């Protein structure tokens, strides 16, 4: 549900050569933040209070010759006595046949107890990006009007890759197993890079705001009365992201009953984007998720249907596997973010 990032990036090279303003690259976005550990906010690293490993794989617009593919690997764990958590992640994002991004990051979070069952979580991620581009600047049927920038990237001084650091900060207020509200700022330094000109491309700051509520179906204590972690519950989340020209909001609802998860979400693209006189369709999306758990293993499948566009294979598949193993020496509850 992200994209046109390559379209925006590559189409902007032509104007970047003639202007001082850098081209802007947009981030990838996974549909299920709950099934992609600490992807929504770095402060949620270690939220499961377990040794947790995750794999997310997304295939977008598979009918295209050069479809988008994203893979995310994570590991995180909580250090209960230190009221802190640590996680690592690796992301591969194949945004076209000849343009690929690698990200390797380390995340730390700290949990501040306000009162019984109420917390403030703070998180910081330090990462390294490696961007690579091939010799061919033509992207075939990725372009709406053909290969409008054939070989525009070819240059005798062109670098094979660009490497740069990146930082993200996030915070959230949490009522244990009931409610959370937070924000995150990605790419704090708004890093710039390039393959010919080092300042040709900017990764603009991304601002994320989110609210979540979870209701325990096993309790009759009212909306706010039970903080116990339930096996049967319903939940809802609101999320808004701003990055460059993009303003995207989403509403997600779901239920987890008898180890089975069902969810539906709607994501709305608020922007009107036009590049070189070409107006692009909004990326409005309806997502459906189904999944389940067995002991510490969780598996989920998400299907995205692009409601604002019916061409170019306007649908996507996302697969998620998460395994969590509880510590042997102590057990405790923790606020967790879901779908």
**Burial class of residue 96 (count of CB atoms within 10 Å of its CB; 0-12, 13-18, 19+):** buried
Average pLDDT over residues 190-199: 82
pLDDT at 117 over 70: yes
pLDDT score recorded for residue 143 = 29
Q: What is the pLDDT of residues 158-168, one digit of tens each?
A: 677 889 999 99
324 vs 226: which has the higher pLDDT: 324
pLDDT at 322 over 90: yes
pLDDT at 8 over 80: no
Question: What are the tokens at 269?
Answer: 């693209």
pLDDT score recorded for residue 314 = 59
pLDDT score recorded for residue 196 = 75
Pairwise CA distance, residues 263 & 259, whole Å: 13
Average pLDDT over residues 322-337: 63
Window from 51-55, 103-107, 166-170 with minimum mean pLDDT: 51-55
pLDDT at 141 over 50: no
Whether 295 is covered by a domain: the verdict is: yes
Question: What are the tokens at 75?
Answer: 């590991």
Counting the structural domains of the chain, the total is 1
Residue 185 banded pLDDT, cuts 50, 70, 90? very high
- Sequence-distant (6+) residues with CB within 8 A of 235 are 212, 213, 214, 215, 253, 254, 255, 256, 338, 339
Whether 287 is covered by a domain: the verdict is: yes
Q: Tell me the percentage of the chain whose pLDDT exceeds 90.
A: 40
Average pLDDT over residues 132-152: 42
Whether 332 is covered by a domain: the verdict is: no
Question: What are the tokens at 81?
Answer: 């006595």
Within a 13 Å sphere around the CA of 152, how many CA atoms are in the beta-carbon half?
A: 15
Pairwise CA distance, residues 336 & 197, whole Å: 43
Q: What is the pLDDT of residues 260-281, one digit of tens each?
A: 989 999 998 887 766 566 666 6
pLDDT score recorded for residue 97 = 63
Whether 88 is covered by a domain: the verdict is: yes
What DSSP element (H or E) covers 89? strand 84-96
pLDDT at 189 over 80: yes
Question: What are the tokens at 218?
Answer: 């096993």
pLDDT score recorded for residue 229 = 63
Average pLDDT over residues 120-134: 91
pLDDT score recorded for residue 278 = 63
Whether 331 is covered by a domain: the verdict is: no
pLDDT score recorded for residue 5 = 43
Whether 176 is covered by a domain: the verdict is: yes
Pairwise CA distance, residues 107 & 89, whole Å: 8
Whether 218 is covered by a domain: the verdict is: yes
Phi-psi region of 93 (alpha: psi -120 to 50; beta: other; left: phi over 0): beta
Taking residue 145's Cβ as centre, other Cβ atoms within 10 Å add up to 7
Residue 194 banded pLDDT, cuts 50, 70, 90? confident
The rounded mean pLDDT for the chain is 78
301 vs 48: which has the higher pLDDT: 301
221 vs 105: which has the higher pLDDT: 105
pLDDT score recorded for residue 145 = 30
DSSP one-letter string for 103-120: EEEEEEEEEEEEETTEEE
Pairwise CA distance, residues 304 & 288, whole Å: 7
Pairwise CA distance, residues 251 & 256, whole Å: 17
DSSP one-letter string for 120-185: EEEEEEEEEEEEEE-S----GGGSTTS-TTTTTT--TT--SEEEEEEEEEEEEEEETTTEEEEEEE
Decide if 244 contacts 204 (C-beta within 8 A). Answer: yes
pLDDT score recorded for residue 173 = 96
pLDDT at 4 over 50: no
318 vs 80: which has the higher pLDDT: 318
Give me the domain span that covers residue 64: 5-325
Whether 339 is covered by a domain: the verdict is: no
Q: What is the pLDDT of residues 199-220, one digit of tens each?
A: 788 899 999 999 999 888 876 5
pLDDT score recorded for residue 150 = 38
Decide if 335 contacts 174 (C-beta within 8 A). Answer: yes
What is the reported pTM? 0.81
Q: Which of 218, 203, 229 is nearest to 28 (CA)?
A: 203
Decide if 177 contacts 47 (C-beta within 8 A). Answer: no
pLDDT score recorded for residue 305 = 86
Pairwise CA distance, residues 329 & 331, whole Å: 7
Pairwise CA distance, residues 318 & 306, whole Å: 14
Residue 75 banded pLDDT, cuts 50, 70, 90? very high
Domain of 14: which CATH number? 2.40.160.40
């Amino acid at each position: 549900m992200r994209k046109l990032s390559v379209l925006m990036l590559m189409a902007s090279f032509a104007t970047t050569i003639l202007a001082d303003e850098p081209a802007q690259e947009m981030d990838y976005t996974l549909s299920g933040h709950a099934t992609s550990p600490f992807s929504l906010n770095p402060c949620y690293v270690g939220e499961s209070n377990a040794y947790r490993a995750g794999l997310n794989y997304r295939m977008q617009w598979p009918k295209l010759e050069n479809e988008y593919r994203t893979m995310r690997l994570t590991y995180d764990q909580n250090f209960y006595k230190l009221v802190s958590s640590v996680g690592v992640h690796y992301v591969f994002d194949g945004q076209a046949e000849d343009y690929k991004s690698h990200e390797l990051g380390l995340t730390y979070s700290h949990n501040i107890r306000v009162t019984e069952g109420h917390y403030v979580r703070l998180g910081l991620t330090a990462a390294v990006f490696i961007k690579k581009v091939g010799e061919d600047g033509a992207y075939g049927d990725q372009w709406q009007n053909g290969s409008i920038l054939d070989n525009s990237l070819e240059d005798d001084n062109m670098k094979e890759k660009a490497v740069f650091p990146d930082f993200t900060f996030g915070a959230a207020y949490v009522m244990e197993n009931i409610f959370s509200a937070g924000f995150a700022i990605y790419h704090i330094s708004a890093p710039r890079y390039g393959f010919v000109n080092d300042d040709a491309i900017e990764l603009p700051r991304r601002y994320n705001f989110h609210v979540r509520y979870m209701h325990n179906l096993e309790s009759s204590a009212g909306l706010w009365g039970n903080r116990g972690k339930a096996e049967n519950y319903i939940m809802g989340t609101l999320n808004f992201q701003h990055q460059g020209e993009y303003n995207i909001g989403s509403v997600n609802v779901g239920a987890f009953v008898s180890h089975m998860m069902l969810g539906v979400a709607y994501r709305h693209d608020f922007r009107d984007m036009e590049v070189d006189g070409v107006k692009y369709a909004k990326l409005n999306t309806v997502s459906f998720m189904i999944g389940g758990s067995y002991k510490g293993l969780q598996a989920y499948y998400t299907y995205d249907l692009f409601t604002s566009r019916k061409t170019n294979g306007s649908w996507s598949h996302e697969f998620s596997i998460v395994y969590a193993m509880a510590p042997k020496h102590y057990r405790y509850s923790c606020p967790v973010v879901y779908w």
